[in-house]
Amino acid sequence: MAAKPLPLLLAAVLLTYAVCALSLPPCPPCGSTPVPYPLSTSPSCGDPAYTIRCAVAAGGTLFFDSSNNTYPITSISATTQRLTVAPSPFVPNTCVAADLPSNGLQLNPSAPFNITSSNTIFYLNCSESILSSPLNCTSTSLCHVYSNGSNSASDCINTPCCAFRAGGSTTSYRIRVREAGCRAYRSFVNLDYGLPVSQWPQPGMELQWLLPAEPTCGGQADCGSGSTCGPDPNSNRGVNRCFCHSGLQWDPVSGLLCRDPDGCGNNRTALIAGLGSGLGAFLVASVIGFLVYKHYRRIKEEQERLTREREEILNSGGGKSAKIFTGKQIKKATNSFAKDRLLGVGGYGEVYKGILEDGTIVAVKCAKLGNTKGTDQVLNEVRILCQVNHKSLVGLLGCCVELEQPLLVYEYVPNGTLLDHLQGPSRGLLSWTCRLSIARATAEGLAYLHFSAVPPIYHRDVKSSNILLDEKMNGKVSDFGLSRLAHTDLSHISTCAQGTLGYLDPEYYRNYQLTDKSDVYSFGVVLLELLTSQKAIDFNRPPDDVNLAVYVQRLVEEEKIMECADPMLKEGASTLELETMKALGFLAVGCLEERRQNRPSMKEVVEEIEYIISITTAKSVD
Ligand SMILES: *[C@@H]1O[C@H](CO)[C@@H](O)[C@H](O)[C@H]1NC(C)=O
Ligand SMILES: *[C@@H]1O[C@H](CO)[C@@H](O)[C@H](O)[C@H]1NC(C)=O
Ligand SMILES: *[C@@H]1O[C@H](CO)[C@@H](O)[C@H](O)[C@H]1NC(C)=O
Ligand SMILES: *[C@@H]1O[C@H](CO)[C@@H](O)[C@H](O)[C@H]1NC(C)=O
Ligand SMILES: *[C@@H]1O[C@H](CO)[C@@H](O)[C@H](O)[C@H]1NC(C)=O
């Protein structure tokens, strides 16, 4: 898993699939059309058995290639595994299908697609011999109503025709036209026979895909710890696949390997098992001579004494143990802060990926200080940070004050940020349930900072890029308390606004104070991002809607809140799910109240989200 100098987003996405899901990632959108898993537009994404074609030149149009022809795809529903293609048009001014030379639509029977029984098919311009078939070819058949009532089929009036529902054993894979039979066809999905022809939908042929099997593997290395590479019992050709350990499931809809059926991610044990005794290794000295040895011992002893003292400061107060790292250790772990180890640059400094001597992967954050603070003061702040410990907070493992800037060593959360996921190609992995559980986890983390940390910690920079996702897609709040390490004196505050544009409490401009309710405001914006998959600030929206909070508040006033919900979430959602989306939207708007006293506390936000989740889970039982 060597780090490569890739843009951060791409790196995060690659990391996601290298560490977590072993199937290939879902494909990027074709133009603006999302391409859900397992559909595949290139060998590097989706499942290759589900290949479709993206024609970028055609403005990003997807095509379905059958055995002998190609058809544009007009819609895709990932939740029902269905897609609709536009069937072959007529040769102009005739009642002959353009795909007559290739005998009509023929799916490869060994490909994982079939024609669904939602299609009503009309065979047109048939030879007389067909009239004795079991199809409905009577004079009252709907195909006559169609050719008599539709402009595009007007050439077919008075030709013998038949109607039927597709999906029988032979028509699951082909709609056959030929010179000696019928020469044209039309298909409609979910046709309401009661409607006049003028109100029928556009012609379309609906196909369904089989859910994909687990990804294939060459060996255990391809599968990771959540699954085992083993022979596929459904294949006699020696194919091996990654099979999930018991209690976990392959998720064929999202392509996520081995998720906990109750959670929303992969259930691998945490990558970070805690720090080993790396420091002890330093005692193993190779002795060249007695004097060198003594000299070395003296330095070592001095270093150890310093380390012990610092750890004592850090650990007084009963928090979980944090280590003091030496500058040398950190330099080694980060390959001397090599460019290819840079994970990102945040408001408080740069973050590097580090690999400790015992193999533990960590994130090393360089705190950029606004003004100089004494070592003791920094250590005191770090001590407070080290005592906050909650499953929804990114754990602080230790620090290093030897170099010019204090360095904080955090547990490494491998799966990128919430922002990356909402704005990247893996957005489809974030189901509504998954988004709700990310909302709950991060709200719990913030409530813990506000109400359980002593003294309370206000995050001051809550945003989706500060929420990391672990390999189970659990949300974890990062960067909390870093504002403590930066300056806090008032003279600086007015010149250097804390927080991030789009998330910043409007009351801040009144009194230049950030409180717990400022975090609640910023969290409200994060909730909107979860609901809408839109950016907090986006200049591609109309000028009045650039700010997501303002935009959604306007929709609420116009009683159209659901207009902003992510179309991918709304598609195929049950009425109940739509209701819970609305409820979360209203909660978010409550957090965005202009006056701080009208906003709920973080504790109340947690309770509200739990209530929303309880509605969805209670109902899904019956
Ligand atoms: C019906 O099909 C025949 C045979 O392909 C073709 O010659 C004829 O023009 C078609 N009828 C109409 C009305 O297009
Ligand atoms: C269409 O494809 C099928 C399946 O591959 C093949 O058997 C058939 O010969 C093809 N027909 C034509 C007319 O190309
Ligand atoms: C054929 O379709 C017409 C119109 O839907 C219907 O009234 C008729 O009963 C059908 N006939 C047969 C034999 O299925
Ligand atoms: C065809 O359409 C005309 C005009 O809409 C209507 O009068 C006639 O009854 C229709 N014929 C059939 C067979 O449906
Ligand atoms: C098409 O495939 C789906 C998924 O395997 C299956 O449930 C359905 O019965 C199939 N439909 C037909 C008409 O064969």
Percentage of residues in the chain having pLDDT higher than 90: 42
Distance from Cα 39 to the centre of ligand 5, integer Å:
17
Distance from Cα 183 to the centre of ligand 2, integer Å:
16
Same domain, 479 and 587: yes
Distance from Cα 498 to the centre of ligand 3, integer Å:
72
What is the secondary structure of 446-477 as a DSSP string? Answer: HHHHHHTSSS----S---GGGEEE-TT--EEE
Percentage of residues in the chain having pLDDT higher than 70: 81
Q: Is 298 helix (H, G, I), strand (E, B) or coil?
A: helix
Same domain, 306 and 327: no
Same domain, 587 and 561: yes
The closest residue, in CA terms, to atom 13 on ligand 5 is: 167
Strand partners, 346: 349
47, 99, 155, 461: the catalytic one is 461
Indicate whether residue 102 lines ligand 2 (CB < 6 A): yes
The closest residue, in CA terms, to atom 2 on ligand 4 is: 148
User: Considering 282, 298, 314, which residue would you say is the last residue of a domain?
Assistant: 314
Strand partners, 622: none
Strand partners, 83: 76, 207
pLDDT at 210 over 50: yes
pLDDT at 179 over 70: yes
Q: What is the pTM of this model?
A: 0.50
- Which of 552, 463, 467, 534 lies closest to 499, judged by CA? 463
Edge-to-edge order in the sheet of strand 119-126: 162-165, 119-126, 182-189
- Which of 520, 522, 551 lies closest to 534, judged by CA? 551
Burial pattern 81-94, b for ≥16 Cβ within 10 A else e, equals bbbbbbbbebeeee
Task: Measure the CA–CA gap between 144 and 353, rounded to whole angstroms.
Answer: 69
**Closest ligand 2 atom to 103 CA:** 13
Ligand lying nearest the CA atom of residue 140: 3
Helix, strand, coil percent content, the chain, rounded in steps of 5: 35, 20, 45
Same domain, 439 and 542: yes
**Closest ligand 4 atom to 145 CA:** 14
Q: What is the pLDDT of residues 471-496, one digit of tens each?
A: 889 999 998 877 666 544 433 333 34
Same domain, 405 and 531: no
Residue 376: which CATH number? 3.30.200.20
Q: What is the pLDDT of residues 455-469, one digit of tens each?
A: 888 888 899 999 999
Mean pLDDT of the chain: 81
Same domain, 449 and 356: no
Ligand lying nearest the CA atom of residue 107: 2
Residue 155 catalytic? no
User: Considering 411, 434, 458, which residue would you say is the last residue of a domain?
Assistant: 411
Same domain, 306 and 387: no
Rounded average pLDDT over 602-611: 93
The answer as to whether 376 is a domain residue is yes
Task: Measure the CA–CA gap between 65 and 41, rounded to whole angstroms.
Answer: 12
* CB-CB contact of 53 with 62 (8 Å): yes
Distance from Cα 67 to the centre of ligand 2, integer Å:
6
Domain count, the chain: 4
Rounded average pLDDT over 75-79: 90
Q: Which of 65, 66, 68 to mutate to test the pocket of ligand 2 (most atoms within 8 A of CB)?
A: 68
The answer as to whether 26 is a domain residue is no
Lookup: tokens for 417: 């940020």
Same domain, 325 and 433: no
Q: Which domain range does residue 165 map to?
A: 66-209
Lookup: tokens for 414: 């491998």
